[in-house]
Amino acid sequence: MSAFMIAVTNQKGGVGKTTTSAALLASLHNRGARVLGVDLDPQGSLGFSLGLDIERCATIYDVFRGELEPQAAISHTETCDLLPSNILLAGAELEFNRPGREFMLKTALSKVEQDYDFIIVDTPPALNLLTVNAYVAVDKLIIPMAPEVLSLLGVSQIKETIHSVQEYYNSRLQVLGILLNRYNARFNLNREVLELAAQIAQQLDTVVFDAKVRGSVSVAEAPAHGLSVVDYAPTSKPARDFEQLCDQVAGPRFPRAERGGRG
């Protein structure tokens, strides 16, 4: 059985893509799933957040260049297996100009997907070749956004790219849902953005997730410890919110694991 593949995407930065990717990987792993994270952001934040020295390990760039098979480029962390990236990937748009370049990730993952239950792809804050590669390879998209108007604008701009990929490369691509990060229902703007997000979700034939991820200092602290917030502060509000999101992603096959830990 092949892996269920999800890309976490929004071309706007600072909306919680990497935090969401790391939390899903950690929560799925804690539920007993075999998980692979793929970092397509040249900043390499996902690998760094999960404790990797991204300058001293093989990366997805080596795979795209044909220098390594995907299996040989996978690093192993306490949280999950990981295909990391670093700044060398920044030149992908210019360097990889061969025919079929939109299928580089799909080709790579086809060689390892049978080894995993879930593959989570963290995308760059841009609608570029790397993002298109993610959309071509995966089954579903999760679109995180911050409760602010500019973040909404980013979500609406994704629509055209999704439709193009569905038409030309990957007809099965669907948006699993829109995720509100740093959400505080007490603020008027947050509630207004939720209403607007619901309208955009309707246009994308999807939903706004019931799980709304609340803010906490633990989210900022966790990467410095090489952990997802789910493992760093499992009883914190955002960790509990991400677990609720994972309930929907994992389904009945991987129910939530009961665990204690740091508050």
Q: What are the domain boundaries of the chain?
A: 4-250
Angle at 229 between CA 214 and CA 28, to 5 degrees: 105
| Mean pLDDT score, 194-198 | 85
Q: Write out pLDDT tens, residues 201-253.
A: 998 899 999 999 988 888 888 988 988 999 998 999 999 999 999 999 998 89
Q: What is the pLDDT of residue 151?
A: 65
Of 4-13, 79-88, 120-129, 153-162, minimum mean pLDDT range:
153-162
Q: What is the CATH number of domain 4-250?
A: 3.40.50.300
Secondary structure class of 257 (helix, strand, coil): coil
At residue 128, what is the residue type? N
Q: Write out pLDDT tens, residues 39-96.
A: 999 999 999 999 999 889 999 999 999 999 999 999 999 889 999 999 999 988 888 8
Q: What is the pLDDT of residue 154?
A: 67
